[in-house]
């Protein structure tokens, strides 16, 4: 817990320094809070005051999010995959105009380490709108270990091996992974997997799990995550509320996880408590359906994103969807629908596989903000969380 408190102090300082250079009041980011909620019933204790509230007789300064244009606000919710296309003129323009907050890189984007590093440096060098220019892009990749690694080097072991070897081994792999990723310019690892493996499940079969019990996962995956973050790379716990019982990868086939609400809460959500207590920065939402909570994928299900993760578990970091280009999402609409549904559910970042889908989603967010379909203040709170994360990655 002391480590988590120290990390939070470092995050606060980095954010305040970033905003101070822009001439904003020091209290701006610290008032960002959580709650990315479009539901008036959401009264989480972690929710920040609206930017129009007063403390005593003195009004709070507007947050940085409150000073962005609607297009820039929408852009802070967008993460896009390159798919090996490199830095195209279209992507350069989207970054330059503030329509993209981050990118996710896959194997095709790392034909060599040098090429990957040059690509990342070129993207970070693109001038951005004045109020955003000091915030680095979020550069993400799935560096889990084992079968899911996007670039050579650490971690050398699979999650299953780390889980078997114990916390010390997992911690060392986490430190090595952060060093590996930072040498390339990657500042967010879409790992670790916190899914509690079930026999016959795809997570266990591919050795992406840290264990088959909640205790083992929490005791080994969380040290990997904290080592990542202590070494300068933000960690992402996935796939909330848990994919350990899925029989297929949701990238290729929709899944219905027929566990009871009690089992999901007692078993699958349990490792997230430890991750949150340790100061974990991001949580990725599953695109499977959990009938115990409704008939929509978790990433589009407000009862899961805001109810379970934000309110029940008290997570006040950044939420991100799993791929919105997956088979599990396809039947629920394209980029436009996915963007609006994800934002309404409480997802801060929306992860698109390609730029055309991302720009369609961006346009839909701007329109819904203008129409009132997405409420301004909750939208700004989500953006402020993203800006805090971006400031931390400096």
Enumerate long-range contacts of 341-344, CB under 8 Å, 24 or more apart: 341/296, 341/300, 342/299, 342/300, 343/38, 343/77, 343/368, 343/374, 343/379, 343/382, 344/38, 344/300, 344/302, 344/373, 344/374
> How many domains does the structure of the chain reveal?
1
The answer to whether position 17 is within a domain reads no
Strand partners, 55: 58
The answer to whether position 263 is within a domain reads yes
Q: Count CA within 13 A, CB hemisphere, residue 277.
A: 10
The answer to whether position 323 is within a domain reads yes
| Range of the structural domain that residue 295 is part of | 70-374
The answer to whether position 201 is within a domain reads yes
Q: Are 193 and 201 in contact (CB under 8 A)?
A: no
How big, in percent rounded to 5, are the helix, strand and coil portions of the chain? 45, 10, 45
Structure token pair of residue 389? 């994360």
Gap between the Cα atoms of 370 and 46, Å rounded? 27
Gap between the Cα atoms of 26 and 29, Å rounded? 7
pLDDT tens string for the chain (394 positions)?
A: 445 545 555 544 444 444 443 333 333 332 333 333 333 333 333 333 333 332 333 344 468 999 999 999 999 999 999 999 999 999 999 999 999 999 999 999 999 999 999 999 999 999 999 999 999 999 999 999 999 999 999 999 999 999 999 999 999 999 999 999 999 999 999 999 999 999 999 999 999 999 999 999 999 999 999 999 999 999 999 999 999 999 999 999 999 999 999 999 999 999 999 999 999 999 999 999 999 999 999 999 999 999 999 999 999 999 999 999 999 999 888 889 999 999 999 999 999 999 999 999 999 999 999 999 999 999 999 999 999 999 999 7
Sorted by sequence, the CB contacts under 8 Å of residue 132 that are 6+ apart come out as 68, 72, 98
The answer to whether position 146 is within a domain reads yes
The answer to whether position 382 is within a domain reads no
CATH number for the domain spanning 312: value is 3.20.20.300
Q: Report CA torsion sign: 171, 175, 176, 181.
A: positive
Minimal CA–CA distance to 325: which of 336, 339, 335, 337? 335
């Amino acid at each position: 817990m002391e480590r988590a408190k120290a990390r939070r102090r470092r995050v606060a300082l980095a954010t305040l320094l970033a905003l101070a250079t822009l001439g904003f009041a020091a209290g701006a980011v610290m008032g960002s809070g959580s709650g990315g909620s479009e539901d008036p019933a959401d009264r989480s204790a972690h929710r920040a005051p609206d930017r129009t509230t007063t403390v005593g007789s003195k009004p709070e300064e507007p947050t940085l999010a409150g000073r962005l244009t609607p297009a820039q606000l929408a852009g802070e919710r967008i993460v896009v995959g390159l798919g090996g296309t490199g830095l195209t003129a279209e992507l350069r323009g989207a970054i330059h105009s503030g329509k993209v907050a981050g990118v996710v890189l896959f194997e095709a984007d790392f034909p060599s380490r040098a090429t990957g590093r040059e690509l990342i440096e070129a993207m970070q060098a693109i001038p951005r709108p004045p109020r955003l220019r000091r915030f680095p892009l979020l550069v993400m990749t799935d560096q889990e270990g084992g079968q899911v690694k996007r670039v050579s080097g650490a971690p050398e072991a699979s999650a299953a091996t780390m889980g078997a070897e114990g916390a010390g081994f997992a911690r060392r792999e986490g430190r090595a992974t952060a060093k590996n990723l930072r040498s390339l310019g990657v500042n967010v690892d879409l790992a670790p997997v916190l899914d509690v493996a079930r026999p016959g499940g795809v997570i266990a079969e591919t050795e992406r799990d840290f264990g088959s019990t909640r205790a083992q996962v929490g005791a080994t995956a969380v040290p990997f995550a904290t080592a990542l973050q202590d070494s300068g790379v933000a960690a992402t716990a996935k796939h909330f509320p848990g994919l350990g019982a899925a029989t297929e990868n949701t990238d290729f086939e929709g899944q219905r996880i027929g566990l009871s609400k009690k089992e999901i809460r007692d078993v699958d959500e349990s490792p997230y408590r430890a991750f949150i207590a340790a100061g974990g920065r991001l949580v990725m939402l599953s695109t499977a359906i959990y009938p115990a909570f409704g008939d929509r994928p978790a990433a589009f299900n407000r009862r899961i994103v805001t109810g379970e993760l934000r309110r029940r578990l008290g997570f006040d970091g950044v939420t991100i969807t799993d791929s919105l280009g997956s088979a599990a999402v396809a039947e629920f609409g394209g980029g436009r629908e996915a963007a609006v549904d994800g934002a309404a559910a409480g997802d801060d970042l929306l992860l698109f596989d390609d730029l055309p889908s991302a720009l369609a989603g961006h346009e839909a967010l701007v329109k819904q903000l203008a129409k009132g379909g997405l409420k301004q203040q909750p939208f700004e709170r989500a953006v402020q969380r993203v800006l805090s994360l971006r400031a931390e990655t400096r």
